[in-house]
Structure 1
Amino acid sequence: MNENTARLSPYYRSLTRNMVLLVMVISLTPMVLVTGIILNQFSASHHEKIHAHLGELVLKHKQNIDGFLSEKLHNIRFLADTIDVDQCGQPNMIEGQLARLQGAYGPVFVDLGVISEQGLQVAYSGPFKLEQARYTDADWFKRALESRDFTSDVFLGLRGTPHFIIATQKSCQDQKWIIRATIDFLEFNRLVEKVRIGETGFAYILNREGQFQTKPLFDFTPDLDIYNRYFSNLERMGKEVEIQERLDGKGVKSIYVSALLKGGDWLLVYKQAYSDAFSDLRNAQTVDVLFFLFGGLAVVGMAIWMSAKMVGRIATADKEKEIMNEQVIETGKLASVGELAAGIAHEINNPVAIMVEEAGWLQDLMEDGAFKSEADIKEFERALNQIRTQGKRCKEITHKLLSFARKTDSRIEDCEIGHLIEEVVALSAQRAKYSKVDVVTRLEPKLPAISASNSELQQVFLNLINNAMDAMDKTGGTLEISAKQESGHIVIGVSDDGPGIPKANLARIFDPFFTTKPVGSGTGLGLSICYGIIHKMGGEITVKSALGVGTTFEIRIPVKTDEPTENVAVSVTDTHS
């Protein structure tokens, strides 16, 4: 069978498909597992790396912002310690202090003022007209009176622009004075705007009321409940930085990194889209998937090529095996013919002897000249008819023998079991007579046809009949052959009342070259050939035997159907009388 035939055969197509699947599973499973484990470990490692990097970034900027606020507060504290409140009313006194601050630290200090305990700003220096401004009702002023140092939230105030105030107390002449400075909001906001990574990462500051203390890069409304939980978690767990992954208000998965500022009054939040933060991971995963796909395609291609190659070789081996099996069957058939030869020769010898005798009688009549009378002519006609009859008989015998002995024809066609059994019984009749074996047939009439090879079925029946006769050769006996329909099968039984088969040999009787006959009397292939033929037809062959009782072979062949059966079952039973 060549590769083209293998591709056309459903069996070899199925075999190729199964081999491809097996090779793919064996090859791809470790690849999938290893790739999955590596990607999972890489993903976990990259997550930890990103989280650690963002946590360190936010912590660093928290320290920078807290350091900035603390530095400005210390600047004002130092100024408060050196300023003489009694001289605050002198012209240019405050202007000089503000000028020194701006000269040392830049425009971050917008203005400077001194406020009495009653809320009146007694001295002011700055770009706004806030001299004699009253802050009695201002919330920041009330809180500044309650603590030595105070930093307010960002608010609009009297000037109408976002700003926040750093203030410190100074006691003089049994009275509290508040020295305060306004911090440039833009300078402070730029400090927070520096926290930028990727395309979507940005930072902002909120107070406990959920109000922005800096201008965020993107406009959105903060969820107060969520940010209150950030405040609570950081305080409760004592953590410097907390990292969470959740959906934002637009349903985009994002990373939130938060830290407390200004003694817990403010919350520094860094937000970045998850896809942006883990873009390197996604790119690496994409590359890995592409490599996996290319590798998988290479494995699939190799599996298909190797499977097709192997199936082609299997098909060739099967073809060679099929040819060898046909040769074995042919050899077995010739051996069976050899076993029948003595009986058939005797059967042919009888009519030949009659023909010779009749021919001699005709010759004698011709020599005596007795061919003119009517009686002589009738004698001639009788002798010729006898010769013709015996010739036909020889012809039938040789035709049956030649029909059986010709090369095996394994073509599948419709077969009539009854007719085949009768032909084989007729071939074995003379040997049965010599072996003192009575052959009894019990054939159910009108058995349905089966799909099989006529010559191969003949071989099976002849092997079983010859084996039975061999078993009863010395003692004679009865050989019964039956055929009937049962449960969608035709059941053929070949039973003898010979000595039976020992239990130790039952399990091996279908093995090739196994025989219990004397050396030179058998090849051990007969039953093996029977098994192979019945197996190929999708049938079943079983044997039951008991010593001193006899042996029965039973063959079950499915009746003709559209779907052939490929499996065969062989069972061996030892029956004790």
Structure 2
Amino acid sequence: MGNHVRLQQRGYDVHPETKSTYDRLSRNMALVVITVSIAPLILVGGLIFDQFRSIYREKVYSHLAEVVDKHKDTIDSFLREKLHEIQYLDRAYSYDQLTNHKFLANILRGMQQQFGRIFVDLGVIDSAGRQIAYAGPFDLLDADYSEAPWYRDSRLQETGISDVFLGLRQSPHFIITVNNDDGERRWTLRATIDFLAFSHLVENIRIGETGSAYILNRSGVFQTRPQEDCGQDLVLTPVRDIPFPALKDVTIRESLGSDDEDYITVSAPLKDGDWTLVYQQRTSDAFSAMTRSEYITLAIFLLGGVAIVVMAVLISRMLVVRFQSIDQESELLTRQMAETGKLAAIGELAAGIAHEINNPVAIMIEEAGWVRDLLEDEGKSMASYGEMERALNQVSTQGRRCKDITHKLLSFARQTDSLTGDVALPSLIREVVDISMQQARLAQVDFHLDLEPDMRPVHASVTELHQVFLNLINNAIQAMEPSGGTLTIACREEDGHASVTVADTGPGIPAANLSRVFDPFFTTKSVGKGSGLGLSICFGIIHQMGGEIDVESAVGRGTSFFIRLPYPPASHSGESKNKEMNHD
């Protein structure tokens, strides 16, 4: 809408249908630019996005699998080391030494000093399941373990590591056993492992906010305490297994929790498959960094897309406005060329009419002179002689006036006469003023001429100077219509140049338009009243002659045009000194 108003203010007429066409063009251009720009962006971005998700998921799975595998090795190593230490005791000391309470207490104290309080107590159990020797903080001497599941299971193998249980001490723990048979008797050396130390070793895996590890036995019973945020009441339903051939003992699985959250579980066997180390973490937590990166990337893509759309709309609109302006200027140029053609045709017509009128007027003047001669010879005695002589004088005077007007009109209409010669500027200016006098009277404009009569002539084309001064005078008269004013024309010699000033008392030219008055087709007049070529032609003519033309104006104070024309060289001036200018 704003463009429509601006074009109307500049003199353009924007039809609704034409405006609709330009709007469609703007939309089509914007759609093409947006499609061509965003389509590759979406395709490439989608491909990169998919590859990023795939690589990042593989990286997360690989990292979790390696962490669990290394942690599994650490726990297995811990259990093997403790088992080997108990085996060492069994081989290093005899049955009699181990069943000595004081000796067994010294061994426990030495082990605790060396390894910390990982070993809680030591004990020797006979073949009937009764603990016959004990060193530790509890009163477990003579305790009967014959019906304890861990004891019955351990009797079937040389060594054993029990599940975690409460037992007689009513606190979670597990036992390492070494069975011995010296031929005379069977007995078992047992050691209790501190559950808190072992539990801390397992729980050392903690990644993100929800990642935690725990151990299950073959029956699915927790051997270590899970974290509070993945408690024992949480039920995981497997959804799919993630193949990970790099670590065959590690299983990665995506599961759905009973809390409707997605989980990643990574598991690995411990203690020859009796236990399973399980690490679980919410999928959203495991891939939080990826999700954050995706949101940032998506925001960048959206901002880029919005920028592309905005720029496409703005650029297409700017181009369409420019096209619209060019089309309107082209249409205006066509109209102005048509007006110029009409003016040229009118000029030719006026020249023909002036020539045709000039011949009858010349005959009328000659006939009036012949009649006067007849009256001088034969009609002095007539009573109306005086009246007839007055009439004949009037006919001769008006005839010469008509001849002078047609002579000037013919002189101006000879546009093809571009021959140069010496031109007396004061007389040429008076001639143009005479032609414009009638228009000035109608516009209530008074002429004030300040012409230096003894100026040297300039070397120029009479026709072209005619055109320059006529354009300037006509523009000044039209500017002062209808309220009238004064048009001052001064002509004098200054600094070795011929200087001409044409100043009016019209409304003046706004400062914003002052720098454009000599541009082709620039006009503030309505269509049909000005082509915008007059001042541009004047500028070209003066500069072609080697002169200068400037303008000064202020709103409400009138406008002044200043012309400076060079004088011809002295030798050329001498050669042309005696030539007369013929304007017929």
Task: Give the TM-score range, shorter chain.
Answer: 0.5 to 0.7
2:82 aligns with 72
Distance 1:27 1:159, change over 3 A: same
1:113 aligns with 123
Relative to the length of structure 1, the TM-score reads: 0.52
Q: Which amino acid aligns with 1:248?
A: G
Distance 1:80 1:243, change over 3 A: same
Unaligned segments of structure 2, at least 5 residues: 8-13, 340-584
Distance 1:37 1:111, change over 3 A: same
Q: Which amino acid aligns with 1:256?
A: T
Instruction: Please state if 1:294 is matched with 2:294.
Output: no
2:211 aligns with 201
- Whether the 8 Å contact between 2:164 and 2:172 is mirrored in structure 1 is yes
Instruction: Please state if 1:90 is matched with 2:126.
Output: no
2-side partners of 1:286 and 1:304: how far apart?
27
1:239 aligns with 248
1:178 aligns with 188
2-side partners of 1:239 and 1:266: how far apart?
17
2-side partners of 1:30 and 1:188: how far apart?
56
2:365 aligns with none
- Whether the 8 Å contact between 2:226 and 2:232 is mirrored in structure 1 is no
2-side partners of 1:192 and 1:2: how far apart?
73
Q: Which amino acid aligns with 2:251?
A: E
2-side partners of 1:7 and 1:55: how far apart?
73
User: In the TM superposition, what are the counterparts of 1:24-63 in structure 2 within 5 Å?
Assistant: 24-63=34-73
Q: How much does 1:133 deviate? A: 0.7
Distance 1:91 1:154, change over 3 A: closer
1:128 aligns with 138
User: In the TM superposition, what are the counterparts of 1:225-304 in structure 2 within 5 Å?
Assistant: 239-304=248-313
- Whether the 8 Å contact between 1:210 and 1:222 is mirrored in structure 2 is no
1-side partners of 2:311 and 2:247: how far apart?
59
Q: Deviations over 1:388-431 (max 9, x none)?
A: xxxxxxxxxxxxxxxxxxxxxxxxxxxxxxxxxxxxxxxxxxxx
Q: Which amino acid aligns with 2:309?
A: V
SS of equivalent residue, structure 2 residue 310: helix
2-side partners of 1:180 and 1:317: how far apart?
102
- Whether the 8 Å contact between 1:144 and 1:178 is mirrored in structure 2 is no
2-side partners of 1:28 and 1:63: how far apart?
51
- Whether the 8 Å contact between 2:123 and 2:135 is mirrored in structure 1 is yes
Q: How much does 1:49 deviate? A: 1.3
- Whether the 8 Å contact between 2:163 and 2:223 is mirrored in structure 1 is yes
1:10 aligns with 20
- Whether the 8 Å contact between 2:236 and 2:255 is mirrored in structure 1 is no
Q: Which amino acid aligns with 2:163?
A: D
1-side partners of 2:72 and 2:186: how far apart?
32
- Whether the 8 Å contact between 1:76 and 1:168 is mirrored in structure 2 is yes
Relative to the length of structure 2, the TM-score reads: 0.52
Q: Deviations over 1:479-512 (max 9, x none)?
A: xxxxxxxxxxxxxxxxxxxxxxxxxxxxxxxxxx
Percent of paired sites with the same residue: 43
Q: Which amino acid aligns with 2:258?
A: G
Q: How much does 1:122 deviate? A: 0.9
Instruction: Please state if 1:314 is matched with 2:319.
Output: no
- Whether the 8 Å contact between 1:16 and 1:308 is mirrored in structure 2 is yes
Q: How much does 1:155 deviate? A: 0.4
2-side partners of 1:237 and 1:147: how far apart?
33
Q: How much does 1:87 deviate? A: 3.5
Q: Which amino acid aligns with 2:259?
A: K
1:214 aligns with 224
Unaligned segments of structure 1, at least 5 residues: 331-577
Distance 1:305 1:226, change over 3 A: closer
Distance 1:238 1:274, change over 3 A: closer
Q: Deviations over 1:201-228 (max 9, x none)?
A: 111111121111111112523678858x
User: In the TM superposition, what are the counterparts of 1:345-360 in structure 2 within 5 Å?
Assistant: none
Q: How much does 1:237 deviate? A: 12
Q: CA RMSD in A?
A: 3.2
- Whether the 8 Å contact between 1:203 and 1:269 is mirrored in structure 2 is yes
Q: Deviations over 1:456-496 (max 9, x none)?
A: xxxxxxxxxxxxxxxxxxxxxxxxxxxxxxxxxxxxxxxxx
2-side partners of 1:83 and 1:221: how far apart?
43
2-side partners of 1:257 and 1:14: how far apart?
60
Q: How much does 1:10 deviate? A: 2.7
Distance 1:7 1:59, change over 3 A: farther
Distance 1:83 1:223, change over 3 A: farther
2-side partners of 1:175 and 1:162: how far apart?
31
1-side partners of 2:136 and 2:54: how far apart?
54
- The size of the alignment, in residue pairs, is 327
- Whether the 8 Å contact between 1:258 and 1:270 is mirrored in structure 2 is yes
Distance 1:176 1:329, change over 3 A: farther
Distance 1:91 1:155, change over 3 A: closer
1-side partners of 2:284 and 2:251: how far apart?
20
- Whether the 8 Å contact between 2:120 and 2:191 is mirrored in structure 1 is yes
2:494 aligns with none
- Whether the 8 Å contact between 1:2 and 1:315 is mirrored in structure 2 is no
2-side partners of 1:36 and 1:69: how far apart?
49
- Whether the 8 Å contact between 2:199 and 2:224 is mirrored in structure 1 is yes
Q: How much does 1:323 deviate? A: 7.3
User: In the TM superposition, what are the counterparts of 1:156-555 in structure 2 within 5 Å?
Assistant: 156-218=166-228, 220-221=231-232, 239-319=248-328
2-side partners of 1:328 and 1:291: how far apart?
54
- Whether the 8 Å contact between 2:237 and 2:257 is mirrored in structure 1 is no
Q: How much does 1:275 deviate? A: 1.9
Which is greater in Rg? 2
1:99 aligns with 109
2-side partners of 1:47 and 1:201: how far apart?
16
2-side partners of 1:42 and 1:325: how far apart?
61
Q: How much does 1:14 deviate? A: 2.4
Distance 1:64 1:83, change over 3 A: same
2-side partners of 1:224 and 1:276: how far apart?
18
- Whether the 8 Å contact between 2:237 and 2:255 is mirrored in structure 1 is no
Q: How much does 1:98 deviate? A: 1.1
2:157 aligns with 147
Q: How much does 1:196 deviate? A: 0.8
Distance 1:107 1:43, change over 3 A: same
2-side partners of 1:325 and 1:237: how far apart?
81
2-side partners of 1:2 and 1:103: how far apart?
92
SS of equivalent residue, structure 1 residue 158: coil
